[in-house]
A and B are shown apart, each in its own frame.
Chain A
Amino acid sequence: MDVSNDSNGLDNSAFENGGLNDAEAEFESDEEELTSDKALQVLESAWLNEKFAPELLPHQQLLVECMVQQIKHMEENVQRLTKGDIRINIHTMEICRIRFIISSYLRKRLDKIEEFAVHLLKEDARRSPDEKYMTTAEAQFARDYLTNIEKLFETVALQHMPQRCANFDLDAISMEPNLKKHVFARANKDIPTILISGVHEMEVSFAKGSQHIIQYSAIAHLVKDGSVQLI
């Protein structure tokens, strides 16, 4: 039973307040009124993209906060229903599912942040505040993580070593994501030209709805602006 894609999945009529009143206001400023359905779909596609992309994708903080608020509203509404009402089960399941997607999405991001911490901090330092890939909290987490590692190394090993050797460059543990990895992708709209670098330079075009296996580096920019969905 795929409730999430059902148009009545987040049944606003069952609730006294429509779930998204506050978040909708935020989105209106982006000139896009997201209904609760659409928001869930955007979250799911962001989650899938994050799962399959080798590098950290730009954050979706607004969306995450909106969904967390949505969950809270739903929980409050469920509390108000009398016990034994069949809607309780369905809505609780929905809440569990949304919570799972959000948690999985954030966990995947944290995994990538820990793996590529040095590289990501460097990259984000170069970008403007609007374009940063990590949220402020995530960046703080990355910085704390690195500080902790340094402290650990320092206290256990480095301070017992002679002065000349006791330096440690964080770059030594910096890892960069493998952008040449191949991924499965589906085009959301017609894309005329994609340049594939490598031994033979090739140009391909994607038709809408088609599915391909392709090097991530060729479509990285398309994933980030939403024209391609990783599957």
Chain B
Amino acid sequence: MFCRDAVKLVAELNQTEDIKPFNEAVFRQVLEEVQSLFEENSKDVNTITEDNTAPKNTLLVRHYAMNRNKRCLLTYLFHRMRRLRQARWELGSIIPPEISKNLIKPEAQWFHNYNKSLATYMRTIGEDGLNILNDIQPPKSLYIEVRCIQDYGRLEFDGQSVMLKKNTYHLLPRSECESLIRQGYLEHVSS
């Protein structure tokens, strides 16, 4: 049956929300299937004459199969791209290695270009630009209590510096903590 590999790709998307390693093997199989369908079609197209119209249905079936394959491939790419975009908004402009090792070069290239266009856009807001990736949550208070779950080192801000070591608690300004909370070094302690 045609398109079985393509469906496998889409099913893989459904399994988890993360970006899994790029399934190059199956991807290539689908492309090969498209290529072989096309070749068979072009062969059969030449055999169609006034009398022998039977192959027309086969042609149609193969044509639809090719389109379906194409659609599945593009869906796979599109959804991986959307997840990558989500990662940019959540984790910042540097992708952690757990995700970046699952990407292929064009995807990394896309990420780089997306970063660039986002940065260009943000620069145009106001005079110096505004980083709209901060302030995801409405601010409740200026300072928040956080717990450090991984060694980070020195954090400097506003003329003061704090040493962030594992298993210590701190009261820090919200703006400094946000990105560290997102990266997983700090944990908000709600009281």
| A and B in contact, CB less than 8 Å | yes
The minimal Cβ–Cβ distance linking A188 to chain B, given in whole angstroms, is 24
Q: How large is the interface on A (under 10, 10 to 19, 20 to 34, 35 or more residues)?
A: 35 or more
Asked if B125 and A64 sit within 8 Å, CB to CB, the answer is yes
Interface hits, A7-66 → B, CB 8 Å = 64-65
Within 8 Å by CB of A137, from B31, B38, B85, B121, lies B121
Closest to A102 in B: B130
Within 8 Å by CB of B135, from A96, A153, A164, lies A96
Q: A141-B120, A148-B113 are in contact. Are A161 and B31 (CB under 8 A)?
A: yes
Asked if B139 and A144 sit within 8 Å, CB to CB, the answer is no
* A5 contacts the other chain (CB 8 A): no
* A207 contacts the other chain (CB 8 A): no
Please give the residue numbers on chain A whose beta carbons come within 8 Å of chain B beta carbons, in ascending order. 64-65, 68-69, 72, 89, 92-93, 96-97, 99-100, 102-104, 106-107, 110, 114, 135, 137-138, 140-141, 144-145, 148-149, 151-153, 155-157, 160-162, 164-165, 168, 172-173
Q: A65-B126, A106-B132, A141-B121 are in contact. Are A153 and B74 (CB under 8 A)?
A: yes
Interface hits, B112-145 → A, CB 8 Å = 113-114, 116-118, 120-121, 124-127, 130-135, 137-139, 141-142
Q: A69-B127, A152-B106, A162-B38 are in contact. Are A144 and B77 (CB under 8 A)?
A: no
Asked if A148 and B132 sit within 8 Å, CB to CB, the answer is no
Asked if A64 and B126 sit within 8 Å, CB to CB, the answer is yes
Please give the residue numbers on chain B whose beta carbons come within 8 Å of chain A beta carbons, in ascending order. 27, 31, 34-35, 38, 66-67, 70, 73-74, 77-78, 81, 85, 104, 106-107, 109-110, 113-114, 116-118, 120-121, 124-127, 130-135, 137-139, 141-142, 174-175
Give complex CA distance A152, B118 in Å.
17
Give chain B's interface secondary structure class: helix
Q: A93-B139, A138-B121 are in contact. Are A152 and B77 (CB under 8 A)?
A: yes
The minimal Cβ–Cβ distance linking B182 to chain A, given in whole angstroms, is 15
Give complex CA distance A92, B67 in Å.
56
Which B residues are CB-close (under 8 A) to A103?
130-135
Asked if B81 and A99 sit within 8 Å, CB to CB, the answer is no
The minimal Cβ–Cβ distance linking A151 to chain B, given in whole angstroms, is 7
Closest to B174 in A: A96
Give complex CA distance A92, B81 in Å.
37
Asked if A161 and B130 sit within 8 Å, CB to CB, the answer is no
Asked if A165 and B78 sit within 8 Å, CB to CB, the answer is no
Give complex CA distance A177, B86 in Å.
20
The minimal Cβ–Cβ distance linking B83 to chain A, given in whole angstroms, is 13
The minimal Cβ–Cβ distance linking B46 to chain A, given in whole angstroms, is 14
Closest to A173 in B: B78
Give complex CA distance A151, B137 in Å.
34
Which A residues are CB-close (under 8 A) to B142?
89, 92-93, 96
Give complex CA distance A42, B120 in Å.
26
Asked if A106 and B125 sit within 8 Å, CB to CB, the answer is yes
Which A residues are CB-close (under 8 A) to B131?
103
Asked if B126 and A97 sit within 8 Å, CB to CB, the answer is no
